[in-house]
Amino acid sequence: MDNICLKRYSCRCFRKERVSEEALIRIFQAAMQAPSALNEQPWEFLLIREACMKQEVAGINPYCHPAAEADCLILLLADLNRLKKDSPWWVQDMSACAENMLLQAVELGLGAVWLGVYPREERMKKLSRLVCLPENVIPFAVISVGYPDEERDPVLRFDGDRIYGEQYGTRLLLQKDSGETEW
């Protein structure tokens, strides 16, 4: 898992190569293994492969341009009818689901990027209209998936200064097994 987390990055440039159905099934399996509060599992998915539809999704906001270049798009949808009354945890559930998908894509040698939709009302309305969602289904995110156009070295982001012990502001000095405190 450590290697997968380090290799993951937001891939925005893709080769023109088809992602297999087997790979997509593995991504969906990983997505549905995500933890969810009260085991509500609010997720549903919509796969888009047609070029004209990918172009429409790419036009939803200025940051969605990777949607047009990826082999496929996976729309993460939250079905509010699956929730118990006043359950506020579906956003965390969907976020865990999305991260599982991104990590599984890396494991398969694919690139992926999470394109935000929720909670931007304008994006949600446009996407809902485009794919004919019922009112109880909320478009949460778009994951663009494909084969990366380039290889990247991992960017190490660990920062021990952001880790505290017992109280905020009390720096926790973590040590490697070797006894060193510098990471």
Question: What pLDDT shows up at residue 179?
Answer: 59
Owning domain of residue 67: 2-156
Give residue 180's pLDDT band: very low, low, confident or very high (50, 70, 90): low
Tell me, yes or no, whether 166 lies in a domain: no
Which of 79-88, 112-121, 159-168 tops mean pLDDT?
112-121
Tell me, yes or no, whether 36 lies in a domain: yes
Domain count, the chain: 1
Tell me, yes or no, whether 179 lies in a domain: no
N-terminal to C-terminal alpha carbon distance within the chain = 19
Tell me, yes or no, whether 169 lies in a domain: no
For residue 165, pLDDT beyond 80: yes
Tell me, yes or no, whether 170 lies in a domain: no
Question: What pLDDT shows up at residue 141?
Answer: 98
Q: What is the pLDDT of residues 3-54, one digit of tens each?
A: 899 999 999 999 999 999 999 999 999 999 999 999 999 999 999 999 999 9
Q: What is the pLDDT of residues 67-114, one digit of tens each?
A: 999 999 999 999 999 998 778 999 999 999 999 999 999 999 999 999
Give the strand pairing for 43-48 and 111-116: unpaired
Q: Which of 76, 46, 66, 77 is nearest to 146 (CA)?
A: 66
Tell me, yes or no, whether 181 lies in a domain: no
Judge whether 46 and 143 are in contact, CB under 8 Å: no
Domain at 136, CATH number: 3.40.109.10
Give residue 142's pLDDT band: very low, low, confident or very high (50, 70, 90): very high
Question: What pLDDT shows up at residue 173?
Answer: 81
Tell me, yes or no, whether 165 lies in a domain: no
Maximum separation of any 2 CA atoms in the chain, in Å: 57
Tell me, yes or no, whether 94 lies in a domain: yes
